[in-house]
């Protein structure tokens, strides 16, 4: 398991660098990130610019900015090798689609590994900073999860992030 978390500030710097290269405003960047949206609430400009100082960020929103950058989540985790490999690439989306975390699939994989290693949820939580047993078992209900925390789960499972994403509709 990598020793480091997903680096939200490095993500912000990469977004800002690409934005400046393209001579875009933050508002224009947000518009492009939301380009496939047909309904629902767009990802706010302030959500994107707030990455600069946040310790955590909503997972589905981070996936959208990663798609805009054309980068893998693993490319922002120090210590992960070959981050541009095909197995790490996020899928291309079309109009009306959004990439989301599949927290039920994440729970199922965690539970299988936990059972295979004969571990309690308390033991798994103790290996993963920032989780309680209840937080882990609640993943079975679906819902949202944030960065960098979700990358700790993916690393513990020794899987590619994309394994636990799904394409949904806006």
Mean pLDDT of 66-78: 95
Q: What is the pTM of this model?
A: 0.92
- The pLDDT value recorded for residue 77 is 94
Which range (37-46, 72-81, 104-113) has the least confidence?
Answer: 37-46
Q: Do the domain assignments include residue 59?
A: yes
Residue pLDDT, tens place only, 129-138: 889 999 999 9
Q: Do the domain assignments include residue 152?
A: no
Q: Do the domain assignments include residue 68?
A: yes
- Give the count of domains, the chain: 1
Q: Do the domain assignments include residue 131?
A: no
Q: Do the domain assignments include residue 133?
A: no
Q: Do the domain assignments include residue 50?
A: yes
- pLDDT band of 96, cuts 50, 70, 90: confident
Q: Do the domain assignments include residue 56?
A: yes
Mean pLDDT of 111-119: 98
Angle at 6 between CA 100 and CA 93, to 5 degrees: 30
Q: Do the domain assignments include residue 146?
A: no
In terms of residue numbers, what domain contains 23? 8-99
């Amino acid at each position: 398991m990598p020793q480091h978390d997903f680096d939200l500030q490095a993500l912000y710097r990469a977004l800002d660098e690409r934005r400046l290269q393209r001579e875009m405003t933050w508002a224009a960047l947000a518009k492009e990130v939301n380009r496939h949206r047909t309904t629902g609430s767009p990802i706010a400009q302030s959500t994107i610019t707030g990455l600069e100082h946040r310790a955590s960020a909503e997972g589905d929103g981070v996936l959208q900015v990663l798609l805009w950058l054309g980068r893998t989540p693993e490319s922002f985790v120090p210590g992960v090798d070959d981050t541009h490999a095909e197995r790490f690439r996020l899928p291309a989306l079309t109009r009306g689609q959004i990439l989301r975390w599949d927290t039920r699939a994440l729970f199922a994989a965690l539970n299988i590994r936990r059972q295979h290693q004969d571990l309690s949820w308390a033991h798994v939580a103790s290996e993963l900073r920032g989780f309680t047993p209840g937080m882990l078992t609640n993943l079975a209900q679906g819902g949202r999860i944030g960065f960098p925390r979700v990358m700790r789960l993916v690393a513990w499972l020794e899987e590619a992030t994309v394994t636990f994403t799904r394409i949904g509709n806006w």
